[in-house]
Amino acid sequence: MRRAVRPEVWKRAPVLTGAALLLGLVMLLHAYVPNRVGTVGSLVETFLPWFGLFVPVLAAGALWRRSPAAVTALVLPVTVWLSLFGGLLADKSHPGGDLALATHNVGADNPDPAGTARGLAASGADVLALEEITDQDRDVYEEELAEAYPYHAVVGTVGVWSRLPLSDTRPVDIATDVGPLAATKPADVRTAGNRALRTTVATDQGPLTVYVAHLGSVRLNPRTGFWTDSRDRNIRALGDVLAADRSERVVLLGDLNGSLDDRAFDGVTSQVHSVQEAAGDGFGFSWPARFPVARIDHILVRGVEPDSSWVLPATGSDHLPVAARISW
């Protein structure tokens, strides 16, 4: 006859049980983690997918301690994680598409801009956006990409190259970097000037409005916490610009220096949606290139259908390029 589990067994490993419940609650209620001190809420949301790694650790501890309470408590974080990110585990891409897009932060200190340009040209993108273009490397990109892309425009440190005609290219004011990040890079590789542009691509199906943006950097500092002031100003300004744009078809390409799970991006994600979430395969992490832990380089669209989204091979940059195909 099967013996019932003794009541005292359910009292084993209360710390593990509490940790499992806390993990589930943090993921479930991440939008309520406060940002007032150290922007902790945004930090949690930036790395939210990685919270799932705590589940097998806690599960191993629960089995080792033979704690039915801890095992049962793990149902909460597993369920929450799958509801948030389970959809990204399936390949949602499908063949086809009218236009291929790519974006890449080429890196101000890229040791091989020519090789980076050739690799991007070989990607097959019809419209290519580059961010963090320095004055000394601009001529290299223009020369190397000229054959594949007869049309291009550069505004400040961002640029767009296209196989199709461009028109009405102009800078977009997103209130660029100020504050403690102004001198974090050596003088010979600092970027300056405009960090966003708007242009129109002439396609067979009609005009496509394209934005290219490089938002302010973020830093994790032991004293100040997760510093996002510059980026958050940029993202609010960009959200206002997108909300005011009445174009039927809009694409936003760029290094947004943040995960779309971060609440700071609500003003943008309410206007355009991610091709990775709609038609990607996996999480599509893009930074840092050596071991990507977050997708901070994005392609977002409105008025067109995402068909596929993928990450391109590494270049000399500390970011990975990302690409997508869209259709009308």
**Does 34 reside within a domain?**
yes
**Does 57 reside within a domain?**
yes
Structural domain that includes position 133: 99-327
Domain C-terminal end among 68, 89, 110: 89
Of the listed ranges 11-15, 17-21, 151-155, 318-322, the least confidently predicted one is: 11-15
Looking at the structure, do residues 38 and 113 belong to the same domain, yes or no?
A: no
- Residue owning tokens 């983690």: 33
Where residue 189 falls among pLDDT bands split at 50, 70, 90? very low
Looking at the structure, do residues 171 and 314 belong to the same domain, yes or no?
A: yes
Structure tokens at 32: 């309520």
**Does 202 reside within a domain?**
yes
Looking at the structure, do residues 153 and 81 belong to the same domain, yes or no?
A: no
The CATH number linked to 152 is: 3.60.10.10
Looking at the structure, do residues 167 and 313 belong to the same domain, yes or no?
A: yes
Looking at the structure, do residues 192 and 56 belong to the same domain, yes or no?
A: no
Q: How far apart are CA 60 and CA 290, in angstroms?
A: 29
Q: How far apart are CA 113 and CA 118, in angstroms?
A: 9
73-103 pLDDT, tens digit per residue, is: 999 999 999 999 999 999 999 999 999 999 9
Is the overall model pTM greater than 0.85, yes or no? yes
Domain C-terminal end among 64, 89, 114: 89
Q: Give the rounded percent of residues in the chain with a pLDDT score beyond 70.
A: 92
Domain C-terminal end among 57, 89, 121: 89
Element (H, E) at 270: none
Q: How many structural domains are present in the chain? A: 2
The string of DSSP letters for 80-136 reads HHHHHHGGGGSB---S--SEEEEEEE--TT-S-HHHHHHHHHTTT-SEEEEES--HH
- Predicted confidence (pLDDT) at residue 30 exceeds the cutoff of 60: yes
- Predicted confidence (pLDDT) at residue 179 exceeds the cutoff of 60: no
